[in-house]
Amino acid sequence: MVNRLKEYWFGILMCFIVIVCLIYSLIVVMSPHSDGQMRGFAPCTYELAINLSQQGGQSKVWGVAGAVTQANLCYVGVIRKGVELWVKGKQPTPWANYMYEPESFYEDENVEPISKELLEANLLDDEEGEVVKIVDEKVEEVAGSSVSEGVNIKNVGEGSNEQM
């Protein structure tokens, strides 16, 4: 047994590292990255977006790699903080600080409905209107009925915003 460990120690170590990286990747991918209260990974993602936008459209490989590395270190810090809070008994599970139901930045009440002026400003020309009519007819044939709510796309070119 000891001889096998001496022979395969590097492979065992590499498998352990790969498994830890996969678990980390799954945690980061499955967690929300935008939240109205800026909890969990949201601040890290926000900083990553700022750092990447500061790179400009140029191909600054090291700048982008540095921004991504900084974001990953921030993600690891969030995970570490969750485990620390769990060990201290301040939260019920180690993932409670980054696995949650995110809150929106905007309340549904504040969203403005589509106005007639907006529709008139974005009128379809005749050719686009014909394509929309054909697509809409095919959708009605397949679905059997049209969408119950929304803007009547068939009449957008005519400046109408009637509900279906």
pLDDT mean over 74-85:
90
pLDDT value, residue 148: 42
Q: Between these two residues, 10 and 140, which has the higher pLDDT value?
A: 10
What is the dihedral sign for C-alpha 9, 69, 66, 77? negative
pLDDT value, residue 17: 96
pLDDT in tens, 129-160: 666 677 667 667 766 544 444 444 444 444 44
Q: How would DSSP label each residue in the chain?
A: -HHHHHHHHHHHHHHHHHHHHHHHHHHHHHS----TT--TTHHHHHHHHHHHHHTTTS--HHHHHHHHHHHHHHHHHHHHHHHHHHHTTSSSSTTTTTSS-PPPSS-GGGPPPPPHHHHHHTPPPHHHHHHHHHHHHHHHHHHSS--SSSB-GGGGGGT---B-
Find the farthest-apart pair of alpha carbons in the chain and give their distance in angstroms, rounded: 82
pLDDT mean over 71-91:
91
Residue 24, pLDDT > 80, answer: yes
pLDDT value, residue 98: 79
pLDDT in tens, 84-130: 988 998 888 888 887 777 776 555 555 566 665 665 566 655 556 66
